[in-house]
Structure 1
């Protein structure tokens, strides 16, 4: 074989090898594009699923709270979100923001409710209760909302204070959403004389005041408060004061009445 022929064959083999490398590179790029496109489609689908979930999420909790805001009987304040307790002519006003699932709120009630009751019964103090759903928002569930609705139903029956105290005395562990069980809320109403009536049961089961509870919680968020309980005496946050005691609270109220 002549040198010219051998050179021609070698050149042909080299061209073939180069062409094969080009084909391999092209195939690799094609596969990369397919994989890349697949990832984009998956991410796009995930984004769509996320949007759908965001738009449809919380249906179980929100559907019951949709509808007109129905304030409980005797509610006061902006949007009727205040449940008043005590003589409204009293000079001193205690404002309390509470969540029935909140352990700190239960601690506050255990320590201070006897003094609060003494002062309201004596006509020296009026209390403005605002009900909040902070724990529902933090841990999930509907127990904060449902118990607040039940307390509003008790307000309709003129039994708010007694039922309010029963709920805190029977508060479940924070992560236990027991108050989402409406049968439990109705059963606890049996501890308050005259509260467990057909009207109360219907109010609890229908979530009559759910939208009102949502409005109250909205007011809490707009108020910029840091947590529950938030306790104000004549507008001053007193629960953050480490020196506060039931006796000190009583003195502060007495001083307000003298003024």
Structure 2
């Protein structure tokens, strides 16, 4: 019994042991807390770095140049002339501003500009009603037609960005195989092809099928242009320019209506912005069916006015020539009399 009693630690020893255990526990806890602080601080640093990287990427994407547009679309749109031929232009560069093609509105052909989104139902209705007529007038050389593609209805295609993809295809064809561009434009807005809003629209392969039906050769270059969405930024910039900077194709001082009646106009002297589609401009002035009537009749009316003004100018020139001749003859007569 005495040996067992001597083997047990004394009270002081137990107290010292408890203190030692408490000290070791505190040190262990302090080490654990330090590790946690380091982990938290490291996580915060990594999180900040990740956030900065994301912000930098967003800023870079937002400020990055849109890149060149398609060849033959320097104004933002493509111009079709006689025999439906595309008027050639260089590609619009990222640092260039969209400018309307140079035209002389005192003579024929008339210039017509159409702003359209390939998912816009009103644009489809317009094309279905007027497409064949416009094709005839353009083909004969009576008018030039500028088609200006937009993508403001991208949110209405369930995430597929159909408006951008359709407009991108159009730009690819305008650049690579322009002879098929007019027919493709007409097809994309036809009742048989144009998708309804709030649907996914055509797939890229189905869009390429439409290009093929329009006469394009669906080769590797065209497929790659569609796959890469090469002109997606260009189309987005088209929409931004038209809705913020103002539309191109208007005569100086012309105003865009705020509704389809044409009773109220955007403020004079300010940029005339796109507010609805299709926007149709004839010889520098907006055409509205509710105000101006049937488009073909309106074109004939404007055409007659241009022709009349041109004839009046010719008549004035002839009269001036006759007056000059008469004055010359009178001077000769006076000289002969004096002699």
- TM category, shorter: 0.5 to 0.7
Match of 1:186 among 208, 212, 229: 208
Q: Map Cα deviations across residues 183-224 of structure 1 (whole Å, 9 max, x no partner).
A: 221122221223322211111111111111111111221222
2:139 matches 1:121: yes
User: Would you tell me which structure has more helix in proportion to its own residues?
Assistant: 1
What residue number does 2:123 align with? 105
Deviations 1:21-70 (A, max 9, x none): xxxxxxxxxxxxxxxxxxxxxxxxxxxxxxx9xx89xx9xxx8xx76422
For 1:163, which of 177, 184, 188 is the aligned residue?
Answer: 184
Structure number with larger C-alpha Rg: 2
In the superposition, the TM-score normalised over structure 1's length comes to 0.68
Q: 2:151 is matched with which residue?
A: 133
Higher relative contact order (CA 8 A, sep 6+): 1
Which residue of structure 1 lines up, in the alignment, with residue 79 of structure 2?
84
| Residues 248-257 or 103-112, more deviating | 248-257
SS in 1 for 2:146: strand
Instruction: Return 5+ residue gaps in structure 1 as ranges.
Output: 1-51
- CA-CA distance at 1:139 after TM superposition: 6.1
Partner of 2:91 in structure 1? none
Q: Which residue of 2 aligns with 1:241?
A: 290
Pair 134,256 (structure 1): closer, same or farther in 2 beyond 3 Å: farther
Shift of the 245–182 alpha-carbon distance from structure 1 to 2, 3 Å rule, reads same
Aligned residues: 196
Aligned-partner Cα distance in 1 for 2:278–2:284: 14
Partner of 1:10: none
Question: Is the 8 Å Cα contact of residues 119 and 250 (structure 1) preserved in structure 2?
Answer: no
**Counterpart of 1:208?**
230
Q: Displacement of 1:137 after TM fit?
A: 4.2
CA distance in 1, matches of 2:137, 2:70: 24
- Once the 2 structures are TM-superposed, how far is the Cα of residue 177 of structure 1 from its aligned partner? 2.1
Unmatched segments (≥5 aa) in structure 2: 1-50, 88-102, 247-272, 310-339
Cα offset, 1:85, TM superposition: 1.0
- Give the TM-score taking structure 2 as reference length: 0.53
2: CA distance, partners of 1:225 / 1:126: 21
Which range moved further: 197-206 or 133-142? 133-142
**More displaced stretch, 122-131 vs 246-255:** 246-255
